Amino acid sequence: MTGYLNRRNRARATQFPVVWSAEVPYAWPDTAIECYTPSSVVPQDPRTPPCAEKWVPNLGHTIAEPPHNPSLPSTGPWQVGEQILPVLLLGGPARRALGLDCAWEVLAAFRRSLYCLSAQGSVVCIGPPSLGPGPLSILADLPPDLDWRGRGIRPGTPAHWDGVALRLAPGLVFSCAAARPWQPAAPSGPWDVAVFSANVQTLAAEVRRRAQQDGLAPLIPALLFGGPFSPHGHRLARELSQIAAPVVQDLRTWLESVMPLGSSLAPPPASVARLIGLGPGLTPSGDDLLGGMMIALRSLGWPSVADAVGASVLPLARSRTHAISYAHLACAAHGQGAGAVHDATVALCSPEDPRMQEHLDDLGCLGHSSGWDALAGVALVARAACTARAGQTHRQRGEEGTLLMPASRLQDVGGVRHADES
Task: Give the three-class secondary structure for 150.
Answer: helix
- As a whole number of angstroms, the distance between CA 108 and CA 90 comes to 19
Helix or strand run (H / E) with residue 229: none
Q: Packing angle between helix 235-258 and helix 303-320, nearest 10 degrees? A: 140
Cβ pair 237, 389 in contact under 8 A: no
Ranges of H-type helices in 259-322: 285-300, 303-320
Q: To the nearest 10°, the Cα dihedral for 409, 411, 416, 420?
A: -60
* CA count, 13 A, side-chain hemisphere, 343: 21
Domain residue ranges in the chain: 83-182, 193-416
pLDDT of res. 5: 29
Which residue type occupies 245? A
3-state helix, strand, coil in the chain (%, to 5): 40, 15, 45
| Distance set, CA 313 to CA 18, 104, 294, 332, 410 (Å) | 19, 27, 10, 11, 37
Handedness of CA 24, 215, 48, 276 (dihedral sign): negative
Cβ pair 6, 148 in contact under 8 A: no
Pairing of β 83-91 and β 180-182:
parallel
Which residue type occupies 264? S
Q: What pTM, to 2 d.p., does this model score?
A: 0.76
Return left, alpha or beta for 2; rule: phi > 0 is left, psi -120 to 50 is alpha, else beta.
beta
Per-block mean pLDDT, blocks of 10 residues, the chain (422 long) = 33 29 28 39 36 32 40 39 88 95 92 90 93 94 78 90 90 92 90 90 85 82 78 74 91 92 83 93 92 96 94 95 95 95 92 81 85 93 87 52 34 34 33
Neighbours of 329 (CB within 10 A): 24
- Residues 347, 232, 368: CA angle, nearest 5 degrees: 55
Neighbours of 148 (CB within 10 A): 23
Which residue type occupies 390? A
- As a whole number of angstroms, the distance between CA 122 and CA 250 comes to 32
Helix or strand run (H / E) with residue 245: helix 235-258
List all residues 6 or more positions away from 320 whose beta carbon is below 8 Å from its beta carbon.
Answer: 19, 45, 47, 48, 273, 276, 277
- As a whole number of angstroms, the distance between CA 11 and CA 13 comes to 5
